[in-house]
Amino acid sequence: MSLPDFPWDSLAGAKARAGAHPDGIVDLSVGTPVDPVPDKIRAALASVSDRAGYPTTHGTPELRQAAVDALGRRFGIGGIDPVSVLPTIGSKELVAWLPTLLGAGPGDLVVIPELAYPTYEVGALLARAEVLRADGLTLVGPRRPKIIWLNSPSNPTGKVLPVEHLRKVVDWARERGTIVVSDECYLSLAWDTQPLSILDRDVCGGDLTGLIAVHSLSKSSSLAGYRAGFVTGDPALIASLLEIRKHAGMMVPRPVQEAMTAALSDDDHVDVQRERYRARRAVLRAALERAGFRIDHSQAGLYLWSTRGEDAWQTVDWLAERGILVAPGTFYGPTGGQHVRVALTATDERVASAAERL
């Protein structure tokens, strides 16, 4: 099987140059949390650390109910049956294996955004399906895709899709029996506009048929190290995923399930984390713009989609000379050739240092 090279391996040279800066590296290349895990979540993790038995693939009833309640409180999403919630080992493994789990294979078409999280493409390739990058449905042509991926807010661009666009994709897909999968891992990080879930009544009309929403606690609760995510949506599709994952042993560890339940039951720590990112975003955005960058999209999410109007790797090198490491837009698709993705995931001290260097 031929897969693309792992993108971040190609940053080794730039990382070494950035690391040679007298004040050390400011790594803004990966969206990995740097803030401490809230105490109540750590306590929940430890509270069941003596459970010796296998965890349930479906997740505890308390976890599934906490997820439904959180979706309602935080995003106004109603009508979800807790039976149709399925915890996953983070979101990346789910993204990578979802086309295979949904039955995609040779001859099937998987549509992903033109600028996209690289694992969407990898997942289609693992299933040996064909990949098409397309933001507009007209580019798909007469073929019936097996799966269409949506991502709003977008990684890497921070673009938020309006309700009209989401509704149009859902209607188009239903006419063709296509599954729509919406990556909503950044839904809680809204800055300039409020993103909507594909499961919002204004998008789907209360009908979840053919729809799957992917959620992660990595960003909202700083749980990247816990590998904590879940999917929900069409009851029939979720039930099918559950059966396959039972056979494959794709189980979230019981202590992580307990931690997820605690995280989903509390909104205060989410609000605190959002404000941390909001403050870092303000500092970095102002510094980048003073340094001659233009920020495109970036209405929500964890990144600033930035350009100096030059080749992305030239910008990577320019920033590395100042001890700042970012990801070139080419990691996310051919049309990202003049942008870099600047993550908000560094401590306040490192963000301030980056701003000073800029």
CATH of the domain at 302: 3.90.1150.10
Q: Which contiguous run of DSSP H or E holds residue 181?
A: strand 179-183
Q: Do both 214 and 105 map to the same domain? A: yes
What is the percent of the chain where pLDDT is above 90? 93
User: Residue 307, SS3?
Assistant: strand
42: in domain: no
41: in domain: no
Long-range contacts of 331-337 (CB under 8 A, 24+ apart): 331/7, 331/8, 331/118, 331/156, 332/115, 332/116, 332/117, 332/118, 332/155, 332/156, 333/113, 333/114, 333/115, 333/116, 333/133, 334/133, 335/114, 335/115, 336/115, 336/156, 336/312, 337/311, 337/312
Token couple for 117:
């999280």
Q: What's the pLDDT score for residue 254?
A: 96
The arithmetic mean of pLDDT across residues 17-44, rounded, is: 95
What is the percent of the chain where pLDDT is above 70? 100
Q: What pLDDT digit, counting tens, does each position of 200-218 carry?
A: 999 999 999 999 999 999 9
169: in domain: yes
Q: What's the pLDDT score for residue 273?
A: 96
CA-to-CA distance for 325 and 277, rounded, in angstroms? 18
For residue 339, pLDDT beyond 90 = yes
pLDDT-derived band at 282 (thresholds 50, 70, 90) equals very high
Q: What's the pLDDT score for residue 8?
A: 81
Task: Establish how many alpha carbons lie within 13 A of residue 255's alpha carbon, considering only the half-sphere containing its beta carbon.
Answer: 15
Other C-beta atoms within 10 Å of 334: how many? 10
43: in domain: no
Q: Do both 25 and 68 map to the same domain? A: no
234: in domain: yes
Nearest Cα residue to 14 out of 313, 349, 340: 313
78: in domain: yes
The arithmetic mean of pLDDT across residues 316-320, rounded, is: 97
For residue 1, pLDDT beyond 80 = no
The arithmetic mean of pLDDT across residues 139-146, rounded, is: 87
Q: Do both 233 and 350 map to the same domain? A: no
Q: Do both 29 and 138 map to the same domain? A: no
Q: Do both 312 and 210 map to the same domain? A: no
Q: What is the mean pLDDT of the chain?
A: 95
For residue 353, pLDDT beyond 80 = yes
The arithmetic mean of pLDDT across residues 165-183, rounded, is: 96
Which of 265, 295, 312 marks a domain boundary?
Answer: 265
Q: Do both 210 and 130 map to the same domain? A: yes
Q: Do both 28 and 172 map to the same domain? A: no
Q: What's the pLDDT score for residue 11?
A: 92
Which of 265, 292, 316 marks a domain boundary?
Answer: 265
Q: What pLDDT digit, counting tens, does each position of 217-249 carry?
A: 999 999 999 999 999 999 999 999 999 999 999
Task: Establish how many alpha carbons lie within 13 A of residue 249's alpha carbon, considering only the half-sphere containing its beta carbon.
Answer: 1
46: in domain: no
Task: State how many domains the chain has.
Answer: 2
Q: What pLDDT digit, counting tens, does each position of 243-259 carry?
A: 999 999 999 999 999 99
CATH of the domain at 218: 3.40.640.10
pLDDT-derived band at 140 (thresholds 50, 70, 90) equals confident
Question: Which residues contact residue 53 at a Cβ distance below 8 angstroms, ignoring those fewer than 6 apart?
Answer: 254
The arithmetic mean of pLDDT across residues 322-350, rounded, is: 97
Nearest Cα residue to 214 out of 200, 193, 229: 229
Nearest Cα residue to 64 out of 75, 80, 42, 48: 80
Q: Do both 155 and 227 map to the same domain? A: yes
Q: Do both 187 and 200 map to the same domain? A: yes
Q: Do both 92 and 179 map to the same domain? A: yes
84: in domain: yes
Q: Do both 241 and 119 map to the same domain? A: yes
Domain limits for position 126: 51-265
Q: Do both 166 and 286 map to the same domain? A: no
Which of 243, 265, 287 marks a domain boundary?
Answer: 265
